[in-house]
A = this chain, B = another copy of it.
Amino acid sequence: MTKLRAGILGATGAVGQKFVELLEGHPWFEITDLAASDRSAGSQYSEAVNWIGSAPIPDVIASMEVASLNTDLSCDFVFSGLPASLADRAEPRLASEGYPVISNAKSFRMHRDVPLLIPEVNPDHIALINNQNWGRGGYIVTNPNCSTVGLTCALKPLNDAFGLEAVQVTTMQALSGAGHPGVPSLDALANVVPFIGGEEDKLVHEPNKLLGRLVNGAIQAEGIAISAQCNRVPVLEGHLECVSVKLGSRANSDEVREAFESFVSPIRDLELPSEPDRFLRVFEDERFPQPRRHSELGGGMTVSIGRIRPCEVLDHKFVVLSHNTIRGAAGGAILNAELLLKKGLLQPRKG
């Protein structure tokens, strides 16, 4: 199969770099365009980027020229790692030029007609694309905020099995979630910052859209009461979240565990390249999961759950861990693109 040509918007940023890293050797996609803000445009990628990865920049990418966001692209679709301030304008423009835009930006996540997509959770929400009217076949699909992803993947089996009424979540989020330069080391080392701007609000709204039902072409959001407390901790990769839930119907701890373990990913049979062997992994060892040990499971795409036990205030509590820059950002977007391709929604663009 001929690979589809992918462009990366915001290619020099932290998420853009992760797209570059994860797409190296991808069986279905190859990077043909790197675009970034005017400050970087015109430079060779290796010069423009402050590469923070541990593996070197792939040679073929290193020598590519970074294009301006306003340049014509030669790709079939784009991944967007843009900050919201740039995505606000760039993504609609590209969609109206006919590009599928697979975006990690927050700009359109909560837009009525834009799928907020986790393939294992709500693949049917892709149908929202039909409501978009950019013309020429363009559309926007988004993935959730990094702290939403792990939580929602864990809530999905519970909501299916028992219904969910209320969720309390306290996050301990990795530094990579703030990008580079991000958090100053004097604020991060041996410290916790009990505030991440805008984060708690996303945790209130995004899961309810993700878990919502598609009715007559529109999403009926769930009405789960969610309360979030977000903290930045001195961890490099992996958001750990302490969760308490109130269920719609009674269940014991074994039944909760069983709901996690018996959950069957709806995309299991599609054999998407980025789909991990195990979507959810449940730990028995009460010391686990831990960010440094378990974030990379399943290539960073497995969501880990542990410490399932009764809650003295709500019904049950547990911890969830997910890799914030893979499952929670670039890897999630790539999985979205893989699903869209399988569904016939990504294809070679005609000259």
Q: Which residues of A are at the interface with B, using a C-beta cutoff of 8 A?
A: 52-56, 166-168, 170, 172, 175-176, 180-195, 204, 225-227, 229, 231, 233-236, 240, 242, 244, 246, 286-297, 306-307, 311-314, 317, 319
On whether the beta carbons of B290 and A236 are closer than 8 Å, the reply is no
Cα distance A294–B194 in the bound complex, in angstroms? 12
With most chain B CB atoms within 10 A of its CB, the pick from A170, A182, A194, A231 is A194
Instruction: Give every chain B residue within 8 A of A291 (Cβ-Cβ).
Output: 190-192
On whether the beta carbons of B227 and A244 are closer than 8 Å, the reply is yes
Instruction: Give every chain B residue within 8 A of A313 (Cβ-Cβ).
Output: 166-168, 225-227, 246, 314
Q: With A184-B185, A313-B226 in contact, do A287 and B204 touch (Cβ < 8 Å)?
A: no
Instruction: Give every chain B residue within 8 A of A289 (Cβ-Cβ).
Output: 194
Q: With A54-B296, A292-B190, A296-B55 in contact, do A227 and B167 touch (Cβ < 8 Å)?
A: no
The listed residue (B175, B194, B195, B296) touching A186 by CB distance below 8 A is B175
Cα distance A289–B37 in the bound complex, in angstroms? 28
Instruction: Give every chain B residue within 8 A of A195 (Cβ-Cβ).
Output: 286-287, 307
Chain B: CB-nearest residue to A287:
B195
Instruction: Give every chain B residue within 8 A of A193 (Cβ-Cβ).
Output: 287, 290
Given A54-B296, A194-B290, A229-B244, 9 additional A-B pairs, CB 8 A: A54-B295, A172-B233, A181-B181, A182-B186, A183-B184, A188-B189, A189-B189, A192-B235, A233-B233
On whether the beta carbons of A293 and B191 are closer than 8 Å, the reply is yes
On whether the beta carbons of A236 and B307 are closer than 8 Å, the reply is no
Instruction: Give every chain B residue within 8 A of A184 (Cβ-Cβ).
Output: 180-185
The listed residue (B168, B296, B306) touching A194 by CB distance below 8 A is B306
Q: With A229-B170, A292-B54, A293-B53 in contact, do A234 and B189 touch (Cβ < 8 Å)?
A: yes
- Least CB distance, A119 to chain B, in whole angstroms: 24
Cα distance A181–B170 in the bound complex, in angstroms? 27
Cα distance A225–B311 in the bound complex, in angstroms? 10
Cα distance A307–B190 in the bound complex, in angstroms? 21
Cα distance A333–B238 in the bound complex, in angstroms? 32
